[in-house]
């Protein structure tokens, strides 16, 4: 059956939708192949915004500013989720957090009564440092706080895995 017979059988169109009257502009070959991101083609199509991107609030941050920011974050921690989120964010950078930041994290772990996270803080330090000497310096710096809170290292808990 042809389309005209179907239309005749249904009667006149009573749809409240109108046909799209926008004429599509031909896209450059690079866009059709997928070589150019659609956001780069925004200037060619008037339907897209041409505003510039908003810059991050932490563009150039010194190590001291980083340390102060995370100390403040850990001092305001009220639950385990916040503590773990802040630890993930702090360890995600390409640097090892300062001992003052880690001390604030340990105090936050004690405040929310989360012993496993306190042990994991030291595992994170061990993974981030370049050598055993640096790890030992962090252990020496944080030893009084670690002993005060009773935080045992993983290598002390499982000595056979420390090899």
Using one digit for the tens of pLDDT, what is the confidence trace for 102-159?
A: 999 999 999 999 999 999 999 999 999 999 999 999 999 999 999 999 999 988 888 8
Q: Rounded to an integer, what distance in angstroms lies between the CA atom of residue 113 and that of residue 27?
A: 59
C-alpha distances (whole Å) from 39 to each of 36, 55, 130, 133 are 8, 17, 40, 48
pLDDT tens-digit profile of 76-101? 999 999 999 999 999 999 899 999 99
For residue 136, how many other CB atoms are within 10 A of its CB? 11
User: Can you give the pLDDT at residue 24?
Assistant: 56
**Domain extent listing, the chain:** 63-162
Among the four given CATH numbers 3.40.50.10170, 3.40.50.300, 1.25.40.40, 2.40.50.430, the one describing domain 63-162: 1.25.40.40
Would the pTM count as exceeding 0.85? no
Position 32 confidence tier, pLDDT thresholds 50, 70, 90: low
């Amino acid at each position: 059956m042809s389309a005209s017979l179907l239309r005749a059988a249904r009667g006149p169109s009573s749809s409240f939708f109108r046909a799209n009257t926008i004429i599509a502009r031909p896209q450059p070959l690079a866009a059709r192949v997928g070589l150019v991101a659609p956001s780069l083609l925004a200037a060619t199509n008037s339907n897209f915004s041409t505003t510039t991107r908003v810059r991050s609030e932490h563009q150039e941050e010194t190590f001291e500013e980083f340390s102060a920011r995370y100390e403040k974050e850990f001092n305001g921690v009220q639950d385990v989720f916040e503590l773990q989120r802040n630890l993930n964010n702090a360890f995600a950078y390409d640097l090892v957090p300062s001992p003052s930041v880690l001390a604030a994290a340990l105090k936050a772990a004690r405040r929310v009564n989360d012993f496993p996270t306190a042990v994991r803080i030291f595992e994170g330090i061990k993974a981030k440092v370049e050598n055993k000497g640096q790890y030992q310096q962090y252990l020496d710096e944080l030893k009084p706080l670690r002993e005060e809170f009773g935080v045992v290292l993983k290598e002390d808990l499982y000595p056979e895995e420390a090899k």
